[in-house]
């Protein structure tokens, strides 16, 4: 049997699963997700390094709208999660028909949601940099980057949906491999689209290389094209090769009220949460923007550098959603509880180790990302403040995935909103005035620690278990 069938059947068997077997399941599902996230991090690093060669202004123009792209990306992810969590439950219950009909309905909903968001992004792209109080010199590049991002939203939405569907049926390997290929394609596209035609020296020989010379626009276009290629690959495995999700087996495409209402109950709280969180990030960007181009660039590079620490946590989060979701579908309360804690502690351990390594290695990371010495020094300084929060940041990330697998999205959303609006923005407002950019990152570290504590309390009290009805 396949890996996903083994897991679902094991859940439904009612047999006790030993601690060693549980760790093996967590590791088997987490590793591909971690590798996929690391691949995406490498892509971000290379993107940042390539754009960084164009100067601090180019880096700042992308960093300026990054919080806005996170906002839109969060809405896309919430749409996918509203349906994929239901697929995890149906997989755990062994209901193949429900898996297939849910997937088909999700395709229709995704096209509608991403279409509306795409039109909105294209419309607001001309006004967004001004709304963020950016220096007038970086506004044209920032607008172009966000406009091109909006043009590829349908592609991104369908990629996220197919990726999430495969993960929730237990196939973590395929999305991991495709994510790695997407990163390599992104580098290739950027190589030709960002820079103009030039001479490259390779193995002591000179080669003339064509380049479009599109600069920041080339970076946005390269990423969009890499998503398009990745979508074509992952759609083949999801819609053709997957025995559970394949479109080759006849199933209903009719939109069903019960499926849509569940998607709304799961996805809407996540969408509102992501909107409020990213709106807070946009406000944070607006607070930082008046500090100047160096501060904006240093902030953007520090976020990119820190991703090496926290993105593995998101890989484990995907495993947590799958394992807890399938345990819920199989009506295994004991396994839902166990996997929630095992994945959370695994995430804490890995992100803590990554934070320690980054604390000592971040000067070398910034040397790779940018040639600007002033940006490097400031970036290293602020990042080191935040790295002390990695263990509790991990707790909030992975516990969110575990709770999502159980369909618990409202309370986690409230936790995130209270934490980032009540703690981070409040502290940032006062600390930035006296400390500059370091004040913003100290506020972030305090808030992430507070948020992690809230999620650990949520897991411990098990209120989320009471809603499962078994």
Q: Any idea which residue has 């970086």 for tokens?
A: 138
Instruction: Quote the CA–CA distance of 72 and 282 in Å, as a whole number.
Output: 12
Q: What is the pLDDT along the chain (470 residues), one digit of tens a residue?
A: 344 445 655 655 556 666 677 777 777 767 776 776 676 666 666 666 777 777 777 777 877 787 788 778 878 888 888 888 888 888 877 888 999 999 999 999 999 999 999 999 999 998 888 887 777 888 888 899 999 999 999 999 999 999 989 988 878 789 888 988 888 898 889 889 988 888 777 777 777 888 888 888 888 899 899 999 999 999 999 999 998 899 998 888 888 888 888 888 888 877 777 777 767 777 887 788 788 888 888 888 888 788 888 888 888 888 888 888 888 877 778 888 888 999 999 999 999 999 999 999 989 988 887 788 888 999 999 999 999 999 999 999 999 888 988 888 788 888 888 888 889 989 998 998 889 899 999 999 999 999 999 999 999 888 877 766 55
Residue 466 lies in a domain: no
Instruction: Quote the CA–CA distance of 230 and 43 in Å, as a whole number.
Output: 14
18 alpha carbon, distance to own chain's centre: 32
Residue 465 lies in a domain: no
Domain enclosing residue 347, as ranges:
3-459
User: Residue 390 is encoded by which pair of tokens?
Assistant: 């990695």
Instruction: Quote the CA–CA distance of 70 and 63 in Å, as a whole number.
Output: 11
Residue 470 lies in a domain: no
Residue 199 exposed, middle or buried by CB count within 10 Å (0-12, 13-18, 19+): exposed
- Three-class SS state of 425: helix
Residue 32 exposed, middle or buried by CB count within 10 Å (0-12, 13-18, 19+): buried
Residue 74 lies in a domain: yes
Q: Any idea which residue has 């380049």 for tokens?
A: 211
Residue 468 lies in a domain: no
CB 424 within 8 A of CB 364: no
Residue 232 lies in a domain: yes
CB 397 within 8 A of CB 310: yes
Q: Which among 455, 447, 445 has a CA at the least distance from the CA of 422?
A: 447
Tell me how long the chain is: 470
CB 34 within 8 A of CB 315: yes
> How many domains does the chain divide into?
1
Instruction: Quote the CA–CA distance of 347 and 360 in Å, as a whole number.
Output: 21
Strand ranges, E, within 229-282:
none
Residue 49 lies in a domain: yes
Residue 469 lies in a domain: no
Instruction: Quote the CA–CA distance of 247 and 238 in Å, as a whole number.
Output: 8
């Amino acid at each position: 049997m396949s890996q996903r069938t083994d897991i679902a059947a094991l859940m439904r068997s009612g047999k006790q699963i030993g601690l060693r077997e549980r760790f093996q399941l967590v590791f088997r599902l987490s590793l591909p997700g971690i590798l996929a996230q690391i691949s995406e991090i490498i892509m971000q690093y290379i993107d940042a390094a390539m754009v960084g060669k164009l100067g601090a202004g180019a880096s700042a123009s992308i960093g300026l709208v990054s919080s806005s792209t996170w906002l839109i990306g969060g809405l896309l992810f919430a749409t996918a999660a509203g349906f994929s969590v239901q697929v995890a439950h149906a997989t755990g219950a062994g209901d193949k028909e429900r898996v297939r009909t849910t997937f088909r309905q999700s395709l229709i909903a995704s096209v509608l949601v991403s279409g509306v968001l795409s039109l909105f992004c294209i419309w607001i792209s001309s006004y967004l940099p001004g709304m963020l109080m950016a220096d007038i010199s970086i506004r044209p590049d920032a607008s172009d980057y966000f406009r091109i991002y909006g043009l590829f939203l349908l592609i991104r939405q369908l990629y996220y949906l197919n990726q999430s569907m495969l993960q929730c049926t237990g196939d973590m390997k395929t999305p991991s491999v495709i994510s790695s290929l997407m990163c390599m394609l992104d580098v290739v596209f950027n190589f030709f689209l960002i820079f103009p035609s030039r001479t490259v020296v390779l193995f002591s020989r000179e080669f003339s290389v064509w380049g479009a010379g599109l600069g920041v626009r080339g970076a946005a276009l390269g990423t969009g094209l890499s998503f398009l290629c990745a979508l074509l690959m992952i759609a083949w495995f999801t819609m053709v090769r997957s025995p559970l999700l394949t479109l080759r087996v006849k199933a209903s495409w009719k939109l069903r009220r019960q499926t849509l209402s569940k998607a709304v109950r799961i996805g809407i709280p996540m969408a509102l949460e992501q909107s409020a969180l990213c709106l807070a990030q946009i406000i944070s960007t607006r607070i930082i923007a008046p500090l100047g181009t160096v501060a904006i660039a240093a902030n953007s590079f520090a976020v990119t550098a820190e991703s090496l620490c926290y993105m593995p946590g998101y890989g484990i989060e995907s495993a947590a959603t799958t394992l807890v979701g399938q345990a819920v579908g199989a009506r295994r309360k004991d396994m839902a509880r166990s996997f929630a804690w095992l994945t959370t502690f695994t995430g804490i351990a890995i992100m803590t180790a990554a934070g320690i390594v980054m604390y000592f290695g971040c000067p070398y990371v910034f040397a790779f990302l940018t040639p600007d010495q002033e940006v490097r020094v400031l970036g290293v300084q602020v990042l080191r403040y935040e790295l002390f929060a990695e263990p509790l940041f991990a707790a909030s990330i992975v516990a969110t995935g575990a709770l999502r697998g159980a369909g618990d999205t409202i309370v986690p959303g409230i936790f995130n909103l209270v934490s980032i609006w009540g703690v981070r923005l409040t502290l940032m407002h006062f600390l930035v005035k006296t400390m500059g950019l370091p004040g913003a990152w100290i506020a972030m570290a305090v808030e992430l620690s507070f948020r992690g504590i809230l999620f650990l309390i949520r897991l411990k009290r098990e209120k989320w278990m009471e809603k499962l009805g078994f």
